[in-house]
Amino acid sequence: MSRVLLDPTAEREPAQRPRSPRLGALAGRKVALLDISKPRGDVFLDRLEEILTARGATIRRFRKPTFAKNAPVDVRQEIASTCDAVIEALAD
Amino acid sequence: MTAPTLPDGIVAVVKRDCPTCVVVEPVLRQLREAGAALTVYTQDDPAFPAGLDPVDDTTLEVSYGLDLVTVPTLLRVQDGRETARLEGWLREAWEEFTGVRELGPGLPDFRPGCGSRTLDPGVADELAVRFGASRLRSRRVEPAEAEDEIEAAFDRGWTDGLPVVPPTEARVLRMLDGTTRQPDEVVAVVPPDMVECTAEKVAVNAVMAGCKPEYLPVVIAALQAVCTDEFNGHGLLCTTYSAGPVLVVNGPVRRSIGMNSGVNVLGQGTRANATIGRAVQLVIQNMGGGRPGGIDRATLGNPGKVGFCFAEDEEGSPWPSFASSRGIPEGRSAVTAFAGEGPRIVVDQLSRTPESLTRSFAACLRTVAHPKLAFLFDAMLVVSPEHARVYREAGWSRERLVDELGELLTLPGSELVRGADGIAEGMPEFLATGELPKLRPEGLLVVHAGGRAGLFSAIIGSWVSGETGSVPVTREVET
């Protein structure tokens, strides 16, 4: 079975979905830092927190229980509903 | 589809799964030995027929290009093009076709062929996608490797909140088999963006809604009714009111596509009822741009906005069909679009005379929108079989019922005006001295439907009626 789908819309928007709007300035924004539980991810994120805080951002720290699985739904929902942006420390 | 270039001489197309092809296997060998320029194409087993170096056509590209119906098929080929064709096994015909005598000694004289694999269920559409020059123009969207197709549809905003059937090209082609229209025929201009909508785009959305191909003409007729100026689909969509298109289907198409007009007629459980209305709403959302929370500003909405479509029970009705009351000749199929809210039930288990039952209906109809608002809203009355029996036995026609309700619903202005009964809502003060009809003369639509048991009927109130709002529209179903 073909995996190509036919667009059901009037095709007035580009096929590629646009990125979310960029933040512009960091001052006053809430930024989530997501540690995926890889070694030394915390070191990287600690430094990011210093830099971003210096620029006026409010930081919230999150952590995935294991890097081997997707972030749990409640973590994703909390980030999406409480923060303006998220930075994920992807690897060691 | 383009005809393939073939080797000159005689070409045979066979499949092992066909007993006649197995029967003619020695004949093909005999032809080769007699020096015929024979090429054999095989549709299933690349090793069949053994010893004849068959050309592998298990992809069916050649068979599809030849538009084969039967195997075995013999073709005479000159300069790469077919000049003659013979199907099945008939000794005399094969001898004449090939010029080789005494073919297949010991074989029966005649065996009909089998169906070409290109015609197996579901195969033809896939082949049309793979090898045909596609007739479809919609933009192709390819989900990423790890992306689930149904989730992809959600992510792109194509759904109404329920999963949709992924609209693959093969499914859309099958859907278009349900209509004689060409894919590029514009069937409606869809509000609110006033976009020209082709049969193909209706088909894409009908696939997503879960329709069968034979529903497509009904979807198109319904869409055309909704997209008229009188129906005012644009206004209906944009309003903060909570109505949506309610579709009533009449005529032979109800039975041929298996619509429900009986038990749970306004509820779930019947594919045609559930998906036709949904397809229309998906077209309005996806093609017209009418998204909930975007242009669709309903304060409350109603569950019927996912799709609200049902059929009239014409066979059990005491009256001529609802569509005939709207000018469609009996025996023809039609869809009526009504800008309606959710249904509410009228309970009357005691009335056994039409006078009493009609007074019950009138009392309940008075509450449409608000008991003190008149001449602003239409209503659809869905009379169930047990209630309809009362009218049948008394010999009341639909027109009589509508007229009697009209009289009962002619209300004293003094009860309706603002402030009356301690309620600020109501009609303007200057109407206090006269009488006002609750409904426009043509604003009461009576349909017969429902299960055989239950002394309940239903009222579906409308959005603002008439010139300032929506007028019900009936469209005949074409092919």
Is the pLDDT at B165 greater than 60? The verdict is yes
User: Tens digits of per-residue pLDDT, B372-393?
Assistant: 999 999 999 999 999 999 999 9
| Confidence (pLDDT) at B85 | 95
Nearest to B43 by CA among B21, B10, B76, B75: B21
| Confidence (pLDDT) at B25 | 95
Residues 6+ apart with CB under 8 A from B367: none
Q: Tell whether B136 lies on the interface with A, counting CB pairs under 8 A.
A: yes
Q: What is the pTM of this model?
A: 0.79
Q: Tell whether B287 lies on the interface with A, counting CB pairs under 8 A.
A: yes
Residues of chain A in contact with residue B153, where contact means CB-CB under 8 angstroms, are 5
Residues of chain B in contact with residue A5, where contact means CB-CB under 8 angstroms, are 140-143, 149, 152-153, 166-168
User: Tens digits of per-residue pLDDT, B447-456?
Assistant: 999 999 999 9
For every residue of B372-415, DSSP letters joined together read T--SSEEEEEEE-HHHHHHHHHHT--HHHHHHHHHHHTEEEHHH
CA B314, B316, B320, B326 dihedral sign is negative
Residues of chain A in contact with residue B286, where contact means CB-CB under 8 angstroms, are 8-10
Cβ neighbourhood burial of B261 (10 Å; 0-12, 13-18, 19+): buried
What percent of chain B has a predicted confidence (pLDDT) above 70? Answer: 99
| Confidence (pLDDT) at A1 | 43
Q: Do A9 and B152 touch (CB under 8 A)?
A: no
> Do the Cβ atoms of B307 and B209 come closer than 8 Å?
yes
User: Tens digits of per-residue pLDDT, A65-83?
Assistant: 887 777 888 999 999 999 9
Residues of chain A in contact with residue B195, where contact means CB-CB under 8 angstroms, are 10, 12
| Confidence (pLDDT) at A91 | 66
> Do the Cβ atoms of A46 and A87 come closer than 8 Å?
no
Who wins on pLDDT, B331 or A19? B331
Q: Tell whether B152 lies on the interface with A, counting CB pairs under 8 A.
A: yes
Name the region of B450 (left: φ>0; alpha: ψ -120 to 50; beta: rest). left
* Residue B277: band (very low, low, confident or very high) from pLDDT cuts 50, 70, 90: very high
**Å from A1 to nearest chain B CA?**
8
Q: Tell whether A10 lies on the interface with B, counting CB pairs under 8 A.
A: yes
B49 upstream amide cis, omega within 30 of 0: yes
